[in-house]
Amino acid sequence: MKIFKLLPKTALVMALTFSLISGLFAQSAEEGKTLFQANCTSCHAINDKVVGPALKDVHKRREEAWLVKWIKNSQKLIASGDAVAVQLYKENNESPMTAFENLSDNQIKSIIAYVKAESEAPAATAAVAATTPGNVPPSEDGNDLSSSINWLLLLIGVLLLGVIRYVFIILGRISDIQGKPAINWNSVNAVLMLVFVVVGLIAGTWEFIVHGKLTYFNEGPASAHGVEYDNMFMITLIITGIVFIITQILLFWYGFKYKSDGKRKALYYADNHKLELWWTAVPAVVLTVLVIRGLITWSHMTAKTEPNTRNVEIFAYQFGWNARHAGADNKLGKHDFRQVGKVNALGVDTADVNAYDDIIVNELHLEVNEPVEFAFRAKDVIHSAYFPHFRAQMNVVPGLPTRFHFTPTVTTAEMRTKKNDSNFDYILLCNKICGGAHYRMKMKVVVDTKEDYQKWLKSQPVLVAGKSANAPVAMN
């Protein structure tokens, strides 16, 4: 009866094996989630069509080996004559999918594992929801409780408008009977003007005090020029704020003071040259000083940089970002817009010796206290590269290269400590409404210490493996 003695051991081995496989799958799916969010969300979602089709159950429709090849370089697969690849290409208006040759096969398999896990999650969630006590079932026509409440609020609003209308009808008839207005609307409006300006100023003050701490300005700038930028912003805000408050108080006060009641008449000036001179000259001088100061700061950001300044290219597309770091030679290789998504994601010329050691990434890393020269280009429409924490922004225009530089001064770790937020990350956003998935268009930015930056840089694969640029220049 040796078989009965072996059963417990066999069961234990099977349990451990199952646990190990489940753990590896969970780990793979978790890694896949990170990779998916960094590389795929600009064009794809699990359940919804974004730019590309929804990915739900894609693992059931295609073999894993085929998916790996497709994600690596779809144009290469199409060029090989693969019937499925060619058909997909035609179905999606022959729009080339970005190549992800920088991802390993295992990383792509992790993304597929994540898509598989997410594809199966909704059904499981729905089953749990259906059997959980206390859930409010949807109505037969598909409307839930919130929709019913919305309809009720709409009905109340319509009834309220009807009541107000009849009140005004009654007041009109009373006025006709008395031969004079039942209500002196001039006096009512004059009082309402005072109420409005007082409530408005109190609400505005409250907004600054309570929600001002939620703005980027509350945490201070993370770049060298950001100090000057914030200073200019605050001076402009204070000057315009004082003028705004004074003019609004005067505007509403005079509306109250000179209400049409037949008791007071406003003094009318046909013209006053001295007054007109003052209110023209003073704003002109103040605005000129502010604009000139802004131009000086802007010229510093766009001026020629030192030869050893690090070079990074930011590439925008609907709806995501790529970054290309220059390698040891500190020179970015040439690119051809006609090869974007075909040769590689950015259309970089792999035959150019300066491109051999270029590094294409989906997460931007910067070294603290080291100036960075950014070159921007776009694949499709106008985007806007916005670094809110670094007080920097530049339009990214197809066919029109743009550039600026700044020096990060606060590492990600230091900012997390400063904000007491272990999950904080710098981000690059698009500040132009560039399409339906504009809100998804962002990229994580990490500011490292010198040691961490060099370590990260060395861990990244170069564009052309096995080759190196001639006469590399050591970075400071």
pLDDT tens readout for residues 256-291: 888 766 666 767 777 888 889 998 999 999 999 999
Pick the closest to residue 185 from 132, 247, 261 (CA basis): 261
pLDDT tens readout for residues 414-435: 999 998 899 999 999 999 998 8
Decide if 471 is inside a domain.
Answer: no
Decide if 301 is inside a domain.
Answer: no
Same domain, yes or no: 334 and 445: yes
Confidence of residue 116 (pLDDT cuts 50, 70, 90): confident
pLDDT at 436 over 60: yes
More confident residue, 167 or 3: 167
pLDDT, mean of residues 161-186: 82
Confidence of residue 7 (pLDDT cuts 50, 70, 90): very low
Decide if 435 is inside a domain.
Answer: yes
Are the C-beta atoms of 115 and 28 separated by less than 8 Å?
no
- Residue 76 half-sphere exposure toward CB, CA atoms < 13 A: 15
For 302, the token pair is 């766009």
pLDDT tens readout for residues 328-360: 888 898 988 877 877 777 888 888 888 888 998
Decide if 287 is inside a domain.
Answer: no
Residue linked to tokens 């080759």: 467
Residue 327: other Cβ atoms inside 10 A: 25
Same domain, yes or no: 325 and 348: yes
pTM: 0.64
Per-residue pLDDT, 93: 57
Per-residue pLDDT, 97: 74
Are the C-beta atoms of 234 and 292 separated by less than 8 Å?
no
Residue 404: other Cβ atoms inside 10 A: 21
Same domain, yes or no: 168 and 192: no
Mean pLDDT comparison of 99-108, 169-178, 305-314, highest-scoring range: 305-314
For 8, the token pair is 């417990």
Q: Using CA of residue 235, residue 428, residue 418, residue 223, what is the dihedral sign?
A: negative
pLDDT at 84 over 90: no
Same domain, yes or no: 439 and 325: yes
More confident residue, 36 or 13: 36
The 10 Å CB-count burial string (b at 16+, else e) for 357-373 is bbbbbbbbbbbbebbbb
* Bridging pattern class, strands 372-378 and 310-317: parallel
Decide if 329 is inside a domain.
Answer: yes
Count the domains in the chain. Answer: 4
pLDDT tens readout for residues 194-206: 999 999 999 999 9
Omega of the bond leading into 25 within 30 degrees of 0 (cis): no
Q: Using CA of residue 75, residue 76, residue 81, residue 85, what is the dihedral sign?
A: negative
pLDDT, mean of residues 79-106: 75
Same domain, yes or no: 199 and 118: no
How far, in Å, are 31, 141, 332, 345 from residue 358 at the CA level? 25, 57, 7, 13
Decide if 254 is inside a domain.
Answer: yes
For 90, the token pair is 């035609």
Same domain, yes or no: 319 and 446: yes
Name residue 402's beta-bridge partners.
376
Pick the closest to residue 256 from 316, 322, 170, 196 (CA basis): 196
Decide if 2 is inside a domain.
Answer: no
Of 36-50, 199-213, 394-408, the one with minimum mean pLDDT is 36-50
Write out the residue range of the structural domain in which residue 121 sits: 20-125
Q: How far apart are CA 100 and CA 98, in angstroms?
A: 6
Q: How far apart are CA 448 and CA 381, in angstroms?
A: 31
Q: What is the CATH number of the domain that holds 59?
A: 1.10.760.10
Same domain, yes or no: 368 and 451: yes
Same domain, yes or no: 349 and 439: yes
Q: Render 231-261 in DSSP notation, one character per residue.
A: HHHHHHHHHHHHHHHHHHHHHHHHHHHT-SS
Same domain, yes or no: 170 and 249: no
- Within 8 A by CB and 6+ apart from 138, the residues are 144
- Mean model confidence pLDDT for the chain: 81
For 399, the token pair is 């066919």
Same domain, yes or no: 163 and 188: no
Confidence of residue 27 (pLDDT cuts 50, 70, 90): low
Q: Using the 3D structure, point to which of 197, 226, 261 is the last residue of a domain.
A: 261
pLDDT at 18 over 60: no
Same domain, yes or no: 352 and 427: yes
Same domain, yes or no: 248 and 387: no
Decide if 11 is inside a domain.
Answer: no
Confidence of residue 95 (pLDDT cuts 50, 70, 90): low
